[in-house]
Protein backbone atom coordinates (compact mmCIF):
# COMPACT_ATOMS: atom_id res chain seq x y z
CA UNK A 1 0.00 0.00 0.00
CA UNK A 2 2.68 2.42 1.16
CA UNK A 3 5.07 1.34 -1.58
CA UNK A 4 2.31 1.86 -4.11
CA UNK A 5 1.68 5.35 -2.77
CA UNK A 6 5.39 6.18 -2.88
CA UNK A 7 5.65 4.96 -6.45
CA UNK A 8 2.73 7.08 -7.56
CA UNK A 9 4.20 10.05 -5.74
CA UNK A 10 7.50 9.46 -7.57
CA UNK A 11 5.81 9.35 -10.95
CA UNK A 12 3.91 12.52 -10.15
CA UNK A 13 7.08 14.40 -9.14
CA UNK A 14 8.90 13.15 -12.24
CA UNK A 15 6.08 14.31 -14.49
CA UNK A 16 5.97 17.78 -12.90
CA UNK A 17 9.74 18.12 -13.21
CA UNK A 18 9.70 17.14 -16.88
CA UNK A 19 6.95 19.61 -17.76
CA UNK A 20 8.60 22.41 -15.81
CA UNK A 21 11.92 21.91 -17.50
CA UNK A 22 10.32 21.73 -20.93
CA UNK A 23 8.67 25.12 -20.35
CA UNK A 24 11.94 26.58 -19.09
CA UNK A 25 13.79 25.25 -22.14
CA UNK A 26 11.29 26.76 -24.55
CA UNK A 27 11.56 30.10 -22.78
CA UNK A 28 15.33 30.16 -22.48
CA UNK A 29 16.31 28.72 -25.85
CA UNK A 30 15.96 31.96 -27.87
CA UNK A 31 18.20 33.74 -25.36
CA UNK A 32 20.71 30.95 -25.52
CA UNK A 33 20.58 30.97 -29.31
CA UNK A 34 21.17 34.74 -29.37
CA UNK A 35 24.20 34.36 -27.11
CA UNK A 36 25.48 31.43 -29.12
CA UNK A 37 24.99 33.25 -32.44
CA UNK A 38 26.71 36.39 -31.19
CA UNK A 39 29.85 34.35 -30.59
CA UNK A 40 30.15 32.92 -34.14
CA UNK A 41 31.61 34.48 -37.23
CA UNK A 42 29.40 35.32 -40.20
CA UNK A 43 30.36 32.22 -42.12
CA UNK A 44 29.21 29.99 -39.35
CA UNK A 45 25.97 31.89 -38.73
CA UNK A 46 24.67 31.25 -42.23
CA UNK A 47 26.03 27.72 -42.40
CA UNK A 48 23.46 25.10 -43.37
CA UNK A 49 24.30 22.72 -40.55
CA UNK A 50 23.75 24.64 -37.36
CA UNK A 51 25.59 23.56 -34.23
CA UNK A 52 24.42 24.16 -30.71
CA UNK A 53 27.66 25.80 -29.61
CA UNK A 54 29.95 27.98 -31.76
CA UNK A 55 32.71 25.99 -33.48
CA UNK A 56 35.08 28.93 -33.83
CA UNK A 57 34.56 31.06 -30.77
CA UNK A 58 34.91 34.79 -31.63
CA UNK A 59 34.16 38.22 -30.12
CA UNK A 60 34.33 39.89 -33.54
CA UNK A 61 30.60 40.72 -33.53
CA UNK A 62 30.88 42.63 -30.26
CA UNK A 63 33.80 44.54 -31.69
CA UNK A 64 31.84 45.45 -34.82
CA UNK A 65 28.83 46.47 -32.78
CA UNK A 66 30.82 48.77 -30.51
CA UNK A 67 32.91 50.36 -33.25
CA UNK A 68 30.69 50.66 -36.25
CA UNK A 69 27.30 51.31 -34.75
CA UNK A 70 26.09 53.97 -32.35
CA UNK A 71 25.67 51.38 -29.61
CA UNK A 72 27.43 53.12 -26.67
CA UNK A 73 25.42 56.29 -27.26
CA UNK A 74 22.17 54.35 -27.44
CA UNK A 75 23.06 52.38 -24.34
CA UNK A 76 23.61 55.54 -22.34
CA UNK A 77 20.42 57.14 -23.76
CA UNK A 78 18.42 54.12 -22.69
CA UNK A 79 20.04 54.06 -19.26
CA UNK A 80 19.32 57.72 -18.58
CA UNK A 81 15.73 57.43 -19.73
CA UNK A 82 15.02 54.19 -17.85
CA UNK A 83 16.57 55.40 -14.60
CA UNK A 84 14.93 58.80 -14.97
CA UNK A 85 11.49 57.28 -15.54
CA UNK A 86 11.85 54.80 -12.67
CA UNK A 87 13.00 57.42 -10.19
CA UNK A 88 10.26 59.75 -11.29
CA UNK A 89 7.55 57.08 -10.88
CA UNK A 90 8.90 56.09 -7.46
CA UNK A 91 9.04 59.72 -6.36
CA UNK A 92 5.59 60.79 -7.54
CA UNK A 93 4.11 57.41 -6.67
CA UNK A 94 5.33 57.67 -3.06
CA UNK A 95 4.03 61.19 -2.63
CA UNK A 96 0.71 60.20 -4.20
CA UNK A 97 0.43 57.05 -2.13
CA UNK A 98 1.19 59.05 1.02
CA UNK A 99 -1.57 61.53 0.34
CA UNK A 100 -4.04 58.83 -0.72
CA UNK A 101 -3.51 56.86 2.49
CA UNK A 102 -2.93 59.69 4.98
CA UNK A 103 -5.40 62.38 3.97
CA UNK A 104 -9.09 62.43 3.22
CA UNK A 105 -10.20 64.68 0.46
CA UNK A 106 -13.17 65.12 -1.83
CA UNK A 107 -13.08 62.78 -4.79
CA UNK A 108 -10.40 60.55 -3.32
CA UNK A 109 -11.95 57.28 -4.43
CA UNK A 110 -12.81 58.75 -7.81
CA UNK A 111 -9.26 59.93 -8.43
CA UNK A 112 -7.95 56.44 -7.74
CA UNK A 113 -10.42 54.94 -10.23
CA UNK A 114 -9.56 57.49 -12.89
CA UNK A 115 -5.87 56.73 -12.45
CA UNK A 116 -6.58 53.05 -12.92
CA UNK A 117 -8.68 53.82 -15.99
CA UNK A 118 -5.73 55.51 -17.71
CA UNK A 119 -3.71 52.37 -17.06
CA UNK A 120 -6.32 50.29 -18.85
CA UNK A 121 -6.14 52.38 -22.04
CA UNK A 122 -4.15 50.73 -24.83
CA UNK A 123 -1.02 52.81 -25.40
CA UNK A 124 -1.74 53.09 -29.11
CA UNK A 125 -4.81 55.20 -28.39
CA UNK A 126 -2.64 57.73 -26.60
CA UNK A 127 0.00 57.96 -29.29
CA UNK A 128 -1.50 60.82 -31.28
CA UNK A 129 -2.64 63.06 -28.40
CA UNK A 130 0.60 62.50 -26.54
CA UNK A 131 2.64 63.35 -29.63
CA UNK A 132 0.68 66.55 -30.20
CA UNK A 133 1.04 67.62 -26.57
CA UNK A 134 4.79 67.00 -26.55
CA UNK A 135 5.28 68.69 -29.91
CA UNK A 136 3.45 71.76 -28.66
CA UNK A 137 5.71 71.74 -25.62
CA UNK A 138 8.66 71.45 -28.05
CA UNK A 139 9.83 68.38 -26.18
CA UNK A 140 9.86 65.78 -28.94
CA UNK A 141 13.16 64.13 -29.74
CA UNK A 142 14.50 64.52 -26.19
CA UNK A 143 15.12 62.48 -23.06
CA UNK A 144 12.46 64.55 -21.30
CA UNK A 145 9.77 63.43 -23.74
CA UNK A 146 10.39 59.76 -23.06
CA UNK A 147 10.78 60.24 -19.30
CA UNK A 148 7.47 62.12 -19.18
CA UNK A 149 5.65 59.51 -21.25
CA UNK A 150 7.10 56.57 -19.35
CA UNK A 151 6.27 58.26 -16.05
CA UNK A 152 2.73 58.93 -17.22
CA UNK A 153 2.15 55.38 -18.36
CA UNK A 154 3.93 53.77 -15.40
CA UNK A 155 2.58 55.95 -12.62
CA UNK A 156 -0.87 54.34 -12.28
CA UNK A 157 0.70 50.99 -11.53
CA UNK A 158 3.28 52.58 -9.23
CA UNK A 159 0.64 54.52 -7.39
CA UNK A 160 -1.59 51.52 -6.81
CA UNK A 161 1.23 49.27 -5.66
CA UNK A 162 2.76 51.89 -3.37
CA UNK A 163 -0.66 52.74 -2.01
CA UNK A 164 -1.03 49.12 -0.91
CA UNK A 165 2.39 49.37 0.76
CA UNK A 166 1.58 52.60 2.55
CA UNK A 167 -1.74 51.21 3.68
CA UNK A 168 0.03 48.37 5.42
CA UNK A 169 2.09 50.84 7.48
CA UNK A 170 0.15 51.50 10.68
CA UNK A 171 -1.02 55.10 11.10
CA UNK A 172 0.28 55.00 14.67
CA UNK A 173 3.82 55.25 13.26
CA UNK A 174 2.92 58.62 11.74
CA UNK A 175 1.29 59.70 14.98
CA UNK A 176 4.26 58.60 17.07
CA UNK A 177 6.61 60.57 14.83
CA UNK A 178 4.40 63.64 14.94
CA UNK A 179 4.24 63.49 18.74
CA UNK A 180 8.03 63.10 18.68
CA UNK A 181 8.10 66.46 16.93
CA UNK A 182 8.55 65.51 13.29
CA UNK A 183 6.89 67.55 10.55
CA UNK A 184 4.78 65.80 7.92
CA UNK A 185 7.67 65.76 5.49
CA UNK A 186 10.07 64.47 8.14
CA UNK A 187 7.55 61.80 9.06
CA UNK A 188 7.40 60.74 5.43
CA UNK A 189 11.16 60.61 4.93
CA UNK A 190 12.33 59.40 8.35
CA UNK A 191 9.63 56.90 9.15
CA UNK A 192 7.34 55.96 6.27
CA UNK A 193 9.65 55.71 3.26
CA UNK A 194 12.04 53.32 5.02
CA UNK A 195 9.08 50.97 5.54
CA UNK A 196 8.12 51.23 1.88
CA UNK A 197 11.59 50.54 0.46
CA UNK A 198 10.76 47.01 -0.78
CA UNK A 199 7.75 48.40 -2.61
CA UNK A 200 9.78 51.27 -4.03
CA UNK A 201 12.46 48.90 -5.33
CA UNK A 202 9.83 46.67 -6.90
CA UNK A 203 8.35 49.64 -8.68
CA UNK A 204 11.79 50.86 -9.71
CA UNK A 205 12.67 47.53 -11.30
CA UNK A 206 9.29 47.19 -12.95
CA UNK A 207 9.36 50.64 -14.54
CA UNK A 208 13.02 50.25 -15.48
CA UNK A 209 12.30 47.06 -17.39
CA UNK A 210 9.27 48.60 -19.08
CA UNK A 211 11.15 51.76 -20.09
CA UNK A 212 14.27 49.87 -21.12
CA UNK A 213 12.40 47.59 -23.48
CA UNK A 214 9.85 50.07 -24.82
CA UNK A 215 9.85 50.32 -28.60
CA UNK A 216 6.61 52.16 -29.34
CA UNK A 217 7.26 55.54 -27.72
CA UNK A 218 10.87 56.06 -28.87
CA UNK A 219 9.75 55.14 -32.38
CA UNK A 220 7.17 57.93 -32.30
CA UNK A 221 8.97 60.59 -30.30
CA UNK A 222 12.63 60.18 -31.28
CA UNK A 223 13.87 61.23 -34.71
CA UNK A 224 17.57 62.05 -34.48
CA UNK A 225 20.19 59.31 -34.36
CA UNK A 226 21.88 60.76 -31.30
CA UNK A 227 18.72 60.43 -29.17
CA UNK A 228 17.89 56.86 -30.15
CA UNK A 229 17.33 54.26 -27.48
CA UNK A 230 18.58 50.68 -27.71
CA UNK A 231 15.38 49.05 -29.00
CA UNK A 232 15.36 51.55 -31.88
CA UNK A 233 19.06 51.00 -32.37
CA UNK A 234 18.59 47.27 -32.71
CA UNK A 235 16.34 47.95 -35.61
CA UNK A 236 19.17 49.61 -37.52
CA UNK A 237 20.85 46.22 -37.89
CA UNK A 238 17.86 45.15 -39.93
CA UNK A 239 18.22 47.28 -43.05
CA UNK A 240 17.74 47.15 -46.82
CA UNK A 241 20.86 45.05 -47.15
CA UNK A 242 19.38 42.32 -44.96
CA UNK A 243 19.99 41.31 -41.38
CA UNK A 244 23.39 41.74 -39.77
CA UNK A 245 22.85 38.74 -37.53
CA UNK A 246 26.16 38.78 -35.71
CA UNK A 247 26.19 42.38 -34.41
CA UNK A 248 22.40 42.25 -33.92
CA UNK A 249 22.70 39.26 -31.62
CA UNK A 250 25.66 40.80 -29.82
CA UNK A 251 23.66 43.96 -29.21
CA UNK A 252 20.70 41.88 -28.03
CA UNK A 253 22.85 40.10 -25.47
CA UNK A 254 24.25 43.35 -24.08
CA UNK A 255 20.73 44.82 -24.19
CA UNK A 256 19.45 42.02 -21.97
CA UNK A 257 22.26 42.28 -19.43
CA UNK A 258 20.98 45.15 -17.21
CA UNK A 259 17.59 43.51 -16.83
CA UNK A 260 19.12 40.15 -16.02
CA UNK A 261 21.36 41.87 -13.51
CA UNK A 262 18.45 43.71 -11.87
CA UNK A 263 16.44 40.56 -11.45
CA UNK A 264 19.12 38.17 -10.31
CA UNK A 265 21.18 40.39 -8.01
CA UNK A 266 19.04 43.12 -6.60
CA UNK A 267 15.86 41.19 -6.32
CA UNK A 268 17.29 38.07 -4.73
CA UNK A 269 19.23 40.20 -2.24
CA UNK A 270 16.12 42.15 -1.51
CA UNK A 271 13.98 39.14 -0.84
CA UNK A 272 16.63 37.72 1.44
CA UNK A 273 17.36 40.94 3.29
CA UNK A 274 13.91 42.32 3.79
CA UNK A 275 11.77 39.22 3.62
CA UNK A 276 12.44 38.49 7.27
CA UNK A 277 11.08 41.70 8.64
CA UNK A 278 9.37 44.04 6.31
CA UNK A 279 7.74 41.81 3.73
CA UNK A 280 9.23 40.43 0.54
CA UNK A 281 9.18 41.97 -2.87
CA UNK A 282 6.03 41.10 -4.71
CA UNK A 283 5.38 41.26 -8.42
Partner 1 sequence: MMAKLVGRSANVRLEGLQKVFGKETLAVDIADMLIPAGEFVTLLGPSGCGKTTTLKLIAGLERPSHGAIYFGDQRVTDVAPGSRDIAMVFQNYALYPHMTVKANLEYGLKKHRVARDERQRRITWASEVLQLERLLQRKPRELSGGQQQRVALGRAMVREPKAFLLDEPLSNLDARLRLLMRAELIRLHHTIDTTMIYVTHDQVEAMSMSQRIAVMRDGRVQQYDRPEVIYRYPSSRFVASFIGSPGINMYEGDLLLHEGALRFVAPGVDLPLTGAVVERLNEPAATRVTLGIRPEDVLLHLETAPPDALVGRVTVVESLGPETIVTLETTLGDVTTRVRGMQPIDFDAQIPFSFDTAGLHLFDATTGDSILRPGVSTNAVKAFRPPVARVPSLVHQTQSG
Spatial distance between the Cα atoms of 84 and 94, rounded to a whole number of angstroms:
15
Please report whether residue 180 would count as binding partner 1 according to CB under 8 A.
yes
Q: Is 270 in the site for partner 1 (CB under 8 A)?
A: no
Among 152, 278, 280, 281, binds partner 1 (CB under 8 A): 278
Give yes or no for residue 195 binding partner 1 (CB under 8 A): yes
User: What is the smallest separation between the CB atom of 261 and partner 1, expressed in angstroms?
Assistant: 26
Q: How far is the CB of 182 from partner 1 (least distance, A)?
A: 5
CB 162 within 8 A of CB 98: no
Nearer to partner 1, 89 or 177 (CB): 177
DSSP code string of 75-142: HHHHHHHHHHHHHHHHHHHHHHHHHHHH---TTHHHHHHHHHHHHHS-HHHHHHHHHHHHHHTT-SSS
Does 179 participate in binding partner 1 (rule CB under 8 A)? yes
CB of 32 to partner 1, least distance (A): 41
CA triple 158-230-24, angle to 5 deg: 70
178 scored as a contact of partner 1 (CB under 8 A): yes
Does the footprint of partner 1 cover residue 181 (CB under 8 A)?
yes
Size of the site for partner 1 (CB under 8 A): 20
Minimum distance between the CB of residue 199 and partner 1, rounded to whole angstroms? 14
Q: Which of 13, 18, 167, 175 binds partner 1 (CB under 8 A)?
A: 175
**Are residues 222 and 143 in contact, defined by beta-carbon separation less than 8 angstroms?**
no
Tell me which residue of 123, 39, 80, 32 sits closest to 258, measured CA to CA.
80
Q: Of the listed pieces 16-24, 36-44, 104-112, 179-187, which binds partner 1 according to CB under 8 A? A: 179-187
Does residue 177 touch partner 1 according to CB under 8 A? Answer: yes
Contacts of 200 (CB under 8 A, 6+ apart): 90, 93, 94, 162, 165, 193
Q: Counting contacts by CB under 8 A, is residue 176 touching partner 1? A: yes
Does 182 contact partner 1 by CB under 8 A?
yes
What are the residue ranges of helices labelled H in the chain? 2-38, 42-45, 60-68, 71-102, 108-120, 123-136, 143-167, 171-179, 184-186, 193-213, 216-221, 230-235, 245-261, 268-275
Between 63 and 180, whose beta carbon lies closer to partner 1?
Answer: 180
Residues forming contacts to partner 1 in the complex (CB under 8 A) are: 170, 172-173, 175-183, 186, 190-191, 194-195, 276-278
Amino acid sequence: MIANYRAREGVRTGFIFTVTWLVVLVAVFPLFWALSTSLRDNQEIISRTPTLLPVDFTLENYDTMLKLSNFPQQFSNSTIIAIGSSLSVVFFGSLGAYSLTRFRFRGQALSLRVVLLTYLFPAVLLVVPMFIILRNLKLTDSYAALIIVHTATGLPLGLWLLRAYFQSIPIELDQAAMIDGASRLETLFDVLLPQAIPGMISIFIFIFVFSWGDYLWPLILITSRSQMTLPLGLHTYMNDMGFEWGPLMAATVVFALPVVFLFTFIQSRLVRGLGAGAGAVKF
